[in-house]
A and B are shown apart, each in its own frame.
Chain A
Amino acid sequence: MEFGQEFGKYKQVVCARATDKKIQDVAQDGGIVTALFSYALDEGIIEGAVVAGPSDEPWVPKPVVATTTDELIAAAGTKYTHSPNVWALKEAVRQAGIEKVGTVGTPCQIMGIRKMQVYPFSTRFVADKLKLLIGIFCMENFPMASIETFTAEKMGLDINDITKMDIGKGKFFAETADDNHGISLKETHGYEQAGCNVCPDYVAEFADVATGSVGSPDGWSTVFTRTDGGESIFNAAVSAGLIETKEFDDSVKPGLGLLSKLAKGKKDKNKKEAENRMKMGLPVPFDKYYEY
């Protein structure tokens, strides 16, 4: 199958998962982010990773500077509201004094970091410390109050009882101890933050390594390696046996066709929104980015 620019530039795309049972148990999908950072920490490629860890409030993430695999495992799993990891890069570099930093972010966070690396106006000696940027696929992000609203009002759940949140197969899922509840994404539509509606990037096109569930079977993740650095770390983690991979042949379902459809869908829909806003005289910073 031929794909265009909707995936951004990449070196290889594979289906992958962490081999470590401990990581699989807590992983959102294939545990790629946890496994890669864990490998990079062990090998000294990074000294710390800024990840979205738990806070005092249920399902409200907080950026955490993880320096051990245990800390990574404690932070594993997707949270569907903001974790301003880019902000915490300062804490990692300045307070923790970490010389080699990795971080994980949504496409918009990777954009902020890449812009900072290209134009480091006032971020003295931060850009040169970044060694591994992992991007996660992202259609949209929700304010915490939105999640509280649709989990409580539409799903009838207490936020404290939810053990896992997930988006897939056109649905938003919330697991509790005894059941897995799902509502159509049409029901959550409209609760996402408005800034996401002009975002052109579904597959973290500017990350070193980008990963997400879409395209791969349950328990696996789709992984794009994009930069030389990202590819060499990923391949080394595979060689070390921490990550297993399989090629995207026709037997892998749902496959890259679905990913392509969603990536293009996001660009098309948000380009239209961008054009509507510009007609009203509102600013939108992206132009060519919507093309594929």
Chain B
Amino acid sequence: MASSSTSVTTVAVRRTLAGHGPDWRGIVFGLLLLGSLVATLGILVTLLADQLVRGIPVYQERGLDFLTSRLSSNPATAGIGQGIVGSIIMGILVAILCFPLGILTAVYLEEYAPDNRVTRFINVNIRNLAGVPSIVYGLLGLTVFVAFFAFLGFPNNGRNIIAGALTLTALILPIVIITSAEALRAVPRSLREGGYGVGASRWQVTRKLVLPAARSGILTGTILALARALGETAPLLLAGAILGTFSSPGGLESILTGPYTVLPMTVYDWSRKPQEEFRELTSAAIIALLLITVSFNALAVLLRNRYQKQ
């Protein structure tokens, strides 16, 4: 008696625990997720592999020579030296112009500005500016910055790297402001209150508590924005970067005021060239550009990890 009733219970329990069989919808959904991942990664891997296959032989053949040589119409001697130098100087200039301006604007909007209609209007429009196509910033660069330097009588009709840097600064400024503001907003109010509670002024709370706490977020955002600026071609097409060859400038003054190019411009230029050899050079230049961008991203991650530990 006892044993049979036990077994009946056991069977019932077993049936309940076994559930209703496989969850087909769940399985299909899981496969869909996996498929999306594979498709996304697939595109990326294909692109990368294609470029690597075509570009690596150039590095094997020419090595450092390709990285340091000047632009040339002869594919055998053409290199990306001017593009790399241009991109580095561009990066430094954009960082100098953009970081203080963007971060200080964010600090003002988040910590100082009264929360009223004007502030909200400005905030919304900064977000809109971040969505403006980059070619529009190129037009701004041409009609404002380049024209300005031309008006002042700078050589090369004002098409210098400073005008280009100002253009890219305008392009990424909204992104820098938005990411910095978000990093500041993520600082808990309790931290600010703690500071005010011991008699710190707003400047002291901002400078000694809020900014250090937001540092990793601000740095990550701004460096990623800078990486984006360094990959841009369209605005600089309008704002005066050189397509084709030019002689390398000499001193600092001619670097800042003379003709210039940047790596993405070289890529664009070479991809339009008729000679078949330039296909491989294009891929090689793309690899260099990718390495620069990836190392910027790596730097951002590194800085974030370092400051988050504190």
Same complex:
no
Residues on A facing B (Cβ under 8 Å): none
Residues on B facing A (Cβ under 8 Å): none
